[in-house]
Structure 1
Amino acid sequence: MPELNRRSFLRAASAASATTLLGARIHALTAAQAEPAAAVAANDRIQIALIGAGGQGQGDTRTALQVLGVKLVAVADCYSGRLDHCKEVWGDDLFTTRDYSEILARKDIDAVIIATPDHWHKQAAVDAMKAGKDVYCEKPMIHLYADGPEMIEAARASGRILQIGSQRVSSIIYAKAKELLASGAIGQLNMVTARWDRNSAIGAWDYTVPPDASPETCDWPRFLGTAPKIPFNAEQFFQWRKWKAYGSGVAGDLFVHLFSGTHFITGSNGPTRGMATGGLRFWKDGRDVPDVMLGLFDYREGFNLSLHVNFVDGGEESEGLIFTGSEGTMEIAGNTVTVNRVPREREPGYTINTFTRATQKAFLEKYREKYSVTYPDGPPAVGMERYVAPAGYSDSYDHFENFFNSVRKRKQPVEDATFGFRAAGAALLSNLSMDRGAIVNWDPDAMKLA
C-alpha cells in the first residue's frame, strides 16, 4: 500500500468496532487523532541530517522521511561505504562526510537524527544542541551515568528539542494499556514481567562486516572517540554492540525499551533498586557482554519488575510485557493489548469439607454474618478484552511524527531527556549489578546511584 494511503487508512480506522472471537471481545484502535494536512507550508518544512548511518540510522531515516514536510540533506558516518550507499538511496546531491561537525555548521539543517554507537550519544547530542539543532537521539540516551545530567542541561540551556528514540512511548497500544491500568482494569498492580528473546545471528548483533573494511574505508580514530585506543578491528567497528567500550549490552539495547514502556504505562519514575544475573551461553565470539540476562527491580509504587533477554532462545523469537494485578492481567504482545480477568474465589476453601457437619454449619453461619455471598449463582465467566492496532501500524512512525510536531510547535517532546535518562539509568543498573555481583540502589527522582 502506498505510504500516504497507508497513513490515511490508519487515521480513518474506526475505534468503535468490536467483534467477539473465541470468547474475547476484540476492539480496533485508531492510529491517530486526525488526518494529516495534505500539504506542509514552506516555513514548516524541516531539513534533517543523519549522524550514524548504520542499520538503525538508515531505518530511522526511512521512517522519518515518511512524515510530511521532512527532507534529508546530509549524512555523517565513519564508513565510506555507508556514505556511498546513502547517496544511492537518497540521491547524489546528498551531502556526506565523516566529520559530523561539518553538518552542524550548516545553517540549512534544522534537526539531526543521532544513531551512533552508544558512547557517542552524549557528545553528538550536546554538540548538535549547542549548534542550534533539534535532536532525535537513539536509545539508550546514555552510555555512562555522567552523560545524563550534561544532556539534560544542554537541552535546557539551548532551548532545543531533545527526544529519545524508544518508540513505545508513542504507541497507541501502550497508550491504551496506560488508560486501562489507570482505569483499574486489572486492579492493584503488583508485578510486571517483560521479555525480549531472539534466535538469530543478527538478533545477537553478529552484523555483517563488509569485505572492504579497512583503515582506509573506516575512520577508526573518529569511531573510537573516548573509547580505549586500540588497533583497527573491523568486528568491533561493525559489531560494536558486543563490546562495553562502545555499547551497553542487552541492558542498553533491549531492557531500556522494556523500562520505557513500563514507566510510560505506570507513570513511575523508575525502580529504587535492582539486581541482575546471566552470562555468555552461546555467542562466544570475543564479545564482553552477556547473551542471557535476567533482572529484578523494586518499585516504590508497590510492584516488582522482572526482565529477561535471551539471545539463545531455540523457540520462537518473542517480545512482550505482562502486567499482573489483583483483579486481572494485561499483556502486550506485538500490536495487541489483552486484558484477562479471572474472578478470585472468595468463599471458604475446600478444606471446610474436612470438618464435621456441625462444625461446617457453625462456621458458615458466622462466615455469612461477616461476608455476603460473593457469587450466589456461581462465579462469573472469565472476561477477556483485546485491543488491536490497524494492520501495518508503526509506532516508529508515530514517534517521529511526534518529534517533528515538537520541532514545529516548540513543545516538549513525548520522550524528553529526563524520561530517557530515567529509563536508561534504570536499565544500566543491570550492568552494574552484574559487574559488582550485588544489588544496586537508584534514586529515580534525583536520577543518581544511591
Structure 2
Amino acid sequence: MNTLNRRMFLKAASVTAAGSLAGVTLPMFAAGADEQARTIAKNDHLQIALIGAGIQGQHDTQSALQVPGIKLLAVADCYQGRLDRSKELWGNDLFTTRDYSEILARKDIDAVIIATPDHWHKQAAVDAMRAGKDVYCEKPMIHLYSDGPEIIETARATNRIIQIGSQRVSSVVYAKAKELLAAGSIGQLNTVTARWDRNSAMGAWNYTVPLDASPETCDWERFQGTAPKIPFNPEHFFQWRKWKAYGSGVAGDLFVHLFSGTHFVTNTLGPTRAMATGGLRFWKDGRDVPDVMLALFDYAEGFNLSLRVNFVDGGEESEGLIFTGSEGTIEIAGNTVILSRVPLQKAPGYTINTFTDAMQKRILEGYRQKYPVSHEADTTSPEYEKYVAPAGYSDSYDHFKNFFQSVKTRTPVVEDAVFGFRAAGAALLSNLSYERDSIIHWDPTKMKVV
C-alpha cells in the first residue's frame, strides 16, 4: 500500500450503506417482527418466491439461492415456458402459477423477489407487503411517479421490509469510491460523468421470442395490467422494454443504476434540475422509446452529473463512472476503482511570461510567501492508486445477503423504498425532459417534480 493509499484511507470516515436518507426514512416497527422472527427460527431458513421469471428474475433467484439458508418454494410468471424452465432449474416440486396472488396467499413464504415488467412493480410490491411478505423489488422501483409514495406508505403501514434491486449500493467497489471521496482524495467534487453503452441486438432489448408464443402459453390479459389494452402481441410480451406502456426506457433500465451508484458514493438526495435529449437513431423497429439518450443534472451539493446511453456504440458494452474533483479523479470501471491525483497547482498564470523580469520576480516572490511549497509542487506525475475487487466478486450476491440479513434481524436494509424512489424518480426526469422538450425541476427532499 503506497503513501497515497494509506493517507486517504486513514482519513476516510467509516462507510455506511444505510438506504434511509435524511429527510425521509422508513422506520422499523416492532409489530409483527417477533412473529416473523419465530417463523424464520422454526424453519431455520428463509423461504422465498419469485414473481416474474424472465432473465432478471432467474438471475436474481440464482444469486439469492447462493446465500446460505435460502429456499425457493414458488414461482409466478405469465408465460408457461418460464414456469416449466423454473422447474428444470429448481426442481419439479416447485409450486408454479400464472397468478401471483396464489403465492401471496401461502403462509410458508417469508419474502418475494419481484422481477416483473416495470408497470407491475408497484402493484406486486404493495400486494406482497399487504400479504405480510418482505419484498426485494427490481429497479426501477417506479413506473409512474405516483407509484413511489404508495410503495413507501405501504411499507410503513404494514411494517414490511422492502429492498430495491440496484446492487451497486452493496458493492465493495462503490464503497471504496465512497470512502475515497469522503476522505477528500480528489478535493472538491464538481462533475460526475457516467455512461452505459451497448452495441448488440440483444443488448438493445430485442430479446428472443419463443416459438410457442401464443394466447394459450402467455397470459396476455394478466401481463397487460394497467397498460392500454391491445390484441396479443408476442413482441410486446417478450420485448416489453421497447414500449413505455410496460417499461421506462433507457432511463429506467440503465440510468437508474448510474443514479444509484452516484447517490450512494456522494451521499446526496438527488438532483434539482434535469435536461435530456436523444432519439431513435438506429433501432427503428416500432419501439416508442429512444435508443440514444444524453442527460444533464444539477445537484445542490455543487456538482453536475452527465449521463449517456447509446445502443449503437460501435464497440463492446461499456459502463463506468468518473468523479472529477479539484485535485483528481475517481473512476469506477467494472470491479475496479482507479484514483488519480493531480493537486491543484497554485502558481502564477501563463501571462506572467509577458511581463518584465522585475515584475515576474516580484510576483514569484509573493507566491513563495503565500504558498511556500505548493507553487513549486511537481504536478506532472499524478499520484495513482488502483483497487480491484476479489476475483469472482458479485455485488448481486452481497445485495441479496444484505436483504436477507435485514429480513432475519428486522433491521433497516441498505436500499429502502425512499432511496429507490429517489434514484428512479431522478432517472425518470430524463424521460419527462425528453418528452416535454424542456428543463425539469425536481425537489429531491420531497421527491416531487416542481
TM-score by length of 1: 0.90
* Count of aligned residue pairs for this structure pair: 417
Aligned to 1:340, what secondary structure does the other structure show?
Answer: strand
Counterpart residue type for residue 95 of structure 1: F
Task: Give the distance between the partners of 2:180 and 2:148, measured in 1 at CA.
Answer: 31
Matched residue type, 1:54: G
Aligned partner of 1:411 in structure 2 is: 411
In structure 2, C-alpha distance between the alignment counterparts of 1:170 and 1:445, rounded to whole Å:
23
Aligned residue for 2:214? 214
Contact 1:50/1:115 (CA < 8 Å) preserved in 2? Answer: yes
| Matched ranges for 1:339-354 at <5 A | 339-354=339-354
Give the equivalent residue in structure 2 for 1:114: 114
- Tell whether the 8 Å contact from 1:75 to 1:95 is kept in structure 2 after alignment: yes
Per the alignment, residue 443 of structure 2 pairs with: 443
Distance 2:430 2:419 in 1: 18
What is residue 102 of structure 1 aligned with on the other side? Answer: 102
Is the Cα contact below 8 Å between 2:67 and 2:397 reproduced in 1? yes
The AA in structure 2 aligned to 1:190 is: N
Secondary structure of 1:332's counterpart equals strand
Is there any run of 5+ residues in structure 2 with no aligned partner, and where? 10-39
Does the CA contact (< 8 Å) of 1:79 and 1:218 recur in 2?
yes
Separation in 1, partners of 2:254, 2:158:
30
Which string of whole-angstrom CA distances, capped at 9 and with x for unpartnered residues, describes residues 212-260 of structure 1?
Answer: 0001110000000000000000000000000000000000000000000
Q: Which runs of 5+ in 1 are unaligned?
A: 1-17, 28-39
1:323 aligns with 2:323: yes
- 8 Å Cα contact 2:346/2:371 also seen in 1: no
Which residue of the partner structure matches residue 67 of structure 2?
67
CA distance in 2, matches of 1:105, 1:196: 40
1:171 to 1:367, Cα distance in 2 relative to 1, 3 A: closer
The code of the aligned residue for 2:114 comes to: I
Whether contact under 8 Å (2:74, 2:95) holds in the other structure is: yes
**TM-aligned CA deviation for residue 187 of structure 1:** 0.7
| 1:343–1:380 CA contact under 8 A, matched in 2 | no
Pair 1:159-2:159 in alignment: yes
Cα distance in 2, alignment partners of residues 182 and 55 from structure 1 = 36
Q: Deviations over 1:397-440 (max 9, x none)?
A: 00000010011001111100000000000000000000000000
Summarize the Cα distance change of 1:326–1:80 in structure 2 as closer, same or farther, 3 Å threshold: same
Q: C-alpha offsets along residues 42-79 of structure 1, whole Å, 9 cap, x if unaligned? A: 54401111000000000100010000010111000000
2:368–2:375: 8 Å Cα contact kept in structure 1? Answer: no
Q: 1:350 deviation in Å?
A: 3.4
Q: Does 1:298 align with 2:326?
A: no
CA contact (8 A) 2:192 2:321 kept: yes
Q: Distance in 2 between matches of 1:376 and 1:446?
A: 48
Per the TM alignment, residue 367 of structure 1 is displaced from its structure 2 partner at its CA by 4.1
AA paired with 1:102? E
C-alpha distance in structure 1 between counterparts of 2:180 and 2:362, whole Å: 42
User: What SS does the corresponding residue of 2:313 show, helix, strand or coil?
Assistant: coil
Asked whether 1:248 is paired with 2:248, we answer yes
Check the 8 A contact 1:198/1:312 in 2, yes or no. Answer: yes
Indicate the residue corresponding to 1:258 in structure 2. 258
Other structure's SS at 1:63 match:
helix
Distance 2:176 2:370 in 1: 38
Instruction: Output the CA distance in 1 between the equivalents of 2:56 and 2:378.
Output: 54
Measure how far apart 1:365 and its partner are: 3.6
Partner amino acid, structure 2, of 1:445: T
Counterparts in 2 of 1:315 and 1:158: CA distance versus 1, 3 Å: same
CA RMSD of aligned residues (A): 1.8
**C-alpha displacement at 1:362, in angstroms?**
3.3
CA distance in 2, matches of 1:253, 1:401: 23
* Structure 1 residues 378 and 85: CA distance shift in structure 2, 3 A: closer
Q: Is the 8 A contact 1:170 1:395 kept in 2?
A: yes
Name the TM-score, length of structure 2 as normaliser: 0.90
